[in-house]
Structure 1
Amino acid sequence: MIWGGTYAYNLFFGSVTGPFGSIKRSELNTYKTLVMETSEGNMTFELDTDNTPKTAANFVLLAQKNYFNGMKFHRIIKDFMIQSGDPNSKNDDPSDDGMGGPGYQFDDEKIIGEYVRGTLAMANSGPNTNGSQFFIVHKDTEMPKNYVIFGKLIDGFDTLDKIADTPVEDNGTGEKSRPTRDVIINNIVLSDLAVE
């Protein structure tokens, strides 16, 4: 099911609601930063809860459920991006990596900004098909404004580089992006630390 017109962003009641659930705007705003603990080190992100409240809410609510724990970075292209968020990556069959999601999709929000190094954005299979897959831009890149930007890396660029340096092989479609060793998200810690 795709939520679009039924998506409710209710300013009066101060909540963000969608197929991912509901969270009070005041609670969402406390999660300005998150720490992604990976097998290669930690990365700290600042979420853009002001411009992309539903995308940020989706990510926060999934993280609260430990949804991302144990997922692999299933697609790595050095100098471009690293991608994760697919529950299929937890199984031993790499052929279905990149095709999984949380069981729902939601619409795009306005895309603000550029895809510069450290950008945190949603991966998708077309307009309004956001779910749980996301990517982190490794090096400044120009691409169509088709992917909602909902955060940025503020610490852990060395970890980003380390993950991007992971050896890769053909993923079965001719793209050299399948890691030859596992790079895993161990945990995502939500934080109310203020971002300077």
Structure 2
Amino acid sequence: MQKPLNRWMLMLIMVLSTVLILSACGDKNATEEQPKPTPESNAGTEQQSKSWKEAPAMAIDKNKKYTAKVSTSKGDFTIELFAKDAPITVNNFVFLAKEGFYNGITFHRIIETFMVQTGDPEGTGAGGPGYTIQDELGGPHKYEEGTVAMAKTTAPNSAGSQFFIGTGADIDSLNSMPNYPIFGKVSDGMDVVKKIAATPTELDDFGREKSKPMEAVTINTITITEE
């Protein structure tokens, strides 16, 4: 599972000096791996059947402008993609979006003061596209509200399809440990992202954090525009 670490998790790691196992896609956090939970009801969907043996070949032009319109069950929002600063990551996202990989996938991890995470066809935080991509770190962007970054484990180059969007002040805690490749920012419709973040949650299946949505919030489609 992959996911970004929240402030409480970071403090616990320092106190115990052990590796915390976090939940979420691409782990939605400074993610670390954990046993795979039983796939949820969407485990047999068409989206999950989309899998590749290797990352897509470079097909974007990093000198062009790319945006992604994300249509969800709670409304639409637009992401400005940082093709010049994170070409490998953006190329991967564009490829998956055009393949319809994200259609029907849920936001499986939600922490209103931190982030919302999606991109896992299993809906458990353990799924992906069948491959991983190279990390693109050290860019000019910071983790803040609206920032879009890949979820992954703490292992290098472990991101695949899961990503998260910063939704609250706690996202700033990741700036002290910038392990999640930033590849975009919400440019329009942040109110919709906030609406997603306000979805009621309960403890996850491992009892670690209150982040499991109590209602399904789904990506309908992602439409890529190139200029």
TM tier, smaller: 0.7 to 0.9
Tell me how far 1:154 sits from its aligned partner: 0.4
Tell me how far 1:65 sits from its aligned partner: 0.4
Q: Which has the higher helix share?
A: 2
State the partner residue of 2:97: 63
Paired residue type of 2:173: E
For the pair 1:105 / 2:139, whether they are aligned, the reply is no
State the partner residue of 1:122: 150
Cα deviation code 1:49-80 (max 9, x no counterpart): 01110000000000010000000000000110
Tell me how far 1:130 sits from its aligned partner: 0.8
Tell me how far 1:98 sits from its aligned partner: 0.2
Hey, what's the Cα distance between the residues in 2 that align with 1:165 and 1:154?
19
Uncovered stretches (5+) of structure 2, i.e. residues with no partner: 1-52
State the partner residue of 1:8: none
State the partner residue of 1:33: 67
Given that residues 137 and 179 in structure 2 are in contact (C-alpha distance below 8 angstroms), is that contact kept between their aligned partners in structure 1? no
State the partner residue of 1:135: 164
For the pair 1:178 / 2:212, whether they are aligned, the reply is yes
Given that residues 111 and 147 in structure 1 are in contact (C-alpha distance below 8 angstroms), is that contact kept between their aligned partners in structure 2? no
State the partner residue of 1:167: 200
Deviates more, 1:138-147 or 1:78-87: 138-147
Query: What is the DSSP-based 3-state SS (H/G/I as helix, E as strand, rest coil) of the residue aligned with 2:192?
Result: helix
Tell me how far 1:178 sits from its aligned partner: 0.4
Cα 1:164–1:25, aligned 2, differ >3 Å: closer, same or farther?
A: closer
Query: What is the DSSP-based 3-state SS (H/G/I as helix, E as strand, rest coil) of the residue aligned with 1:21?
Result: coil
State the partner residue of 1:22: 57
Tell me how far 1:159 sits from its aligned partner: 0.3
Tell me how far 1:125 sits from its aligned partner: 1.0
> Normalising by structure 1, what TM-score?
0.81
Q: What CA RMSD, in Å, does the superposition of the two structures yield over aligned residues? A: 1.6
Paired residue type of 2:56: G
Structure 1 runs (4+) deviating above 6 angstroms are: none
Uncovered stretches (5+) of structure 1, i.e. residues with no partner: 1-17, 90-96
Given that residues 85 and 134 in structure 1 are in contact (C-alpha distance below 8 angstroms), is that contact kept between their aligned partners in structure 2? yes
Match of 1:88 among 122, 134, 142: 122
Given that residues 122 and 134 in structure 1 are in contact (C-alpha distance below 8 angstroms), is that contact kept between their aligned partners in structure 2? yes
Tell me how far 1:155 sits from its aligned partner: 0.4
State the partner residue of 2:186: 153
Query: What is the DSSP-based 3-state SS (H/G/I as helix, E as strand, rest coil) of the residue aligned with 2:185?
Result: strand
Sequence identity, in percent? 43
> Normalising by structure 2, what TM-score?
0.70
Q: Which has the higher strand share?
A: 1
Paired residue type of 1:35: K
Hey, what's the Cα distance between the residues in 2 that align with 1:176 and 1:24?
39
